[in-house]
């Protein structure tokens, strides 16, 4: 039976928030089986906000959580990294409202999680397996999830830019695919939109160190890590947003120009209609689903 996992040892790193521009120090700590992901604001007497759909507060340009007025902003990259490394339970301490953007991808989070190591726990991991399809449309935007025994994502974007246009990417999140194909993809933005966004209080921490900056016809900070890095980053965001289900999903997710608002709306719709899914466990020898690379999992180690 596949078991839940947590980080083996605490790790700490610092950076700035993409939108707030505020400095922040973040620590990832082990958590008991069944805990899920819990954010803890150390600057607010350790107030905790669970990474669940009911705490979703803002979904404009990033996904933010709020509980009793306490905000945790830009959660999607770290939550995506937790799915990519098979982390089910962790406490995430931060001393400001927004997680650090680091290099704009999930790769630095993956590296820090691997540095801390991964520990298997004495509790079977339960998955949310889709039994029926669910489709949502909003104008030209579309998102859906269909029954499957694995977790796969197919995403399409369309931007009127010579380096993007219509990009599509499909990935089965079996062992290693996330780490190689998704985690390195960075967030991106358009230079001509920057002033307007800053006037809205956004992207105050953005720079060519943490965002792919697109001019009218090129990139300010080449090279790209993938030719289709833009759509791959949208997949990264989607995986992080779907982590708010509270369980790893078994289903085929299809999205076209969806974005954070539709990602999180899909999560809410799934959780609201329990006829769409069932909880299940997976035998260790059964077909591929995403889990941590063996190199970073404590061999044979189980924690109560």
Contact predicate 303/33, CB 8 Å: yes
The residue from 19, 77, 260, 263 that is catalytic is: 260
Instruction: Count how many Cα atoms sit within 13 Å of the Cα of residue 262 in the half-sphere of its side chain.
Output: 22
Tokens, residue 17? 């928030």
DSSP state of 51: -
With tokens 């044979």, the residue in question is: 300
Tell me the C-alpha distance between 269 and 251, whole Å: 15
What are the C-alpha distances in Å from 82 to residues 133, 141, 223? 25, 27, 27
Indicate the SS3 state at residue 107. Answer: helix
Tokens, residue 57? 């507060």
Strand 118-124 to 212-214 pairing? unpaired
Tokens, residue 161? 């830019």
Tell me the C-alpha distance between 304 and 300, whole Å: 13
**Residues in Cβ contact with 238 at an 8 Å cutoff, skipping those fewer than 6 apart:** 153, 155, 253, 255, 258, 263
What are the C-alpha distances in Å from 102 to residues 109, 211, 291? 8, 10, 24
Please indicate whether residue 260 is annotated as part of the active site.
yes
* Chain centroid to CA 212: 18
Contact predicate 90/45, CB 8 Å: no
Which amino acids are annotated catalytic? 260
């Amino acid at each position: 039976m596949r078991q839940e996992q947590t980080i083996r040892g605490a790790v700490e790193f610092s950076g700035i928030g993409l939108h707030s521009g505020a400095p922040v120090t973040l620590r990832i700590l082990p958590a008991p089986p069944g805990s899920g992901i819990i954010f803890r604001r150390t600057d607010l007497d350790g107030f905790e906000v669970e990474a669940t759909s009911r705490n979703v507060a803002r979904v404009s340009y990033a996904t933010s959580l709020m509980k009793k007025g306490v905000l945790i902003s830009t959660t999607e990259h770290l939550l995506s990294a937790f799915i990519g490394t098979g982390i089910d339970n962790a406490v995430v301490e931060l001393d400001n409202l927004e997680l650090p953007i680091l290099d704009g991808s999930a790769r630095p989070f993956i590296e820090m999680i691997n540095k801390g190591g991964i520990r298997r726990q004495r509790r079977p991991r339960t998955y949310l397996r889709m039994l029926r399809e669910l489709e949502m449309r909003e104008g030209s935007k579309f998102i859906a999830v269909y029954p499957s025994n694995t977790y796969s994502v197919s995403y399409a974007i369309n931007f009127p830019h010579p380096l993007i246009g219509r990009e599509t990417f499909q990935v089965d999140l079996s062992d290693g695919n996330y780490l190689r194909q998704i985690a390195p993809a960075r967030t991106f933005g358009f230079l001509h939109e920057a002033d307007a966004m800053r006037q809205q209080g956004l992207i105050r921490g953005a720079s060519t160190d943490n965002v792919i900056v697109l001019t009218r016809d090129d990139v300010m900070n080449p090279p790209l890590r993938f030719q289709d890095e833009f759509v791959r980053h949208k997949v990264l965001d989607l995986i992080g947003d779907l982590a708010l289900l509270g369980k790893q999903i078994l289903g085929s997710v299809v999205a076209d120009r969806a974005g954070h608002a539709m990602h999180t709306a899909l999560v809410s719709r799934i959780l609201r209609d329990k006829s769409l899914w069932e909880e299940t466990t997976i035998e260790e020898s059964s077909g591929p689903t995403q889990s941590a690379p063996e190199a970073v999992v404590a061999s044979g180690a189980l924690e109560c």
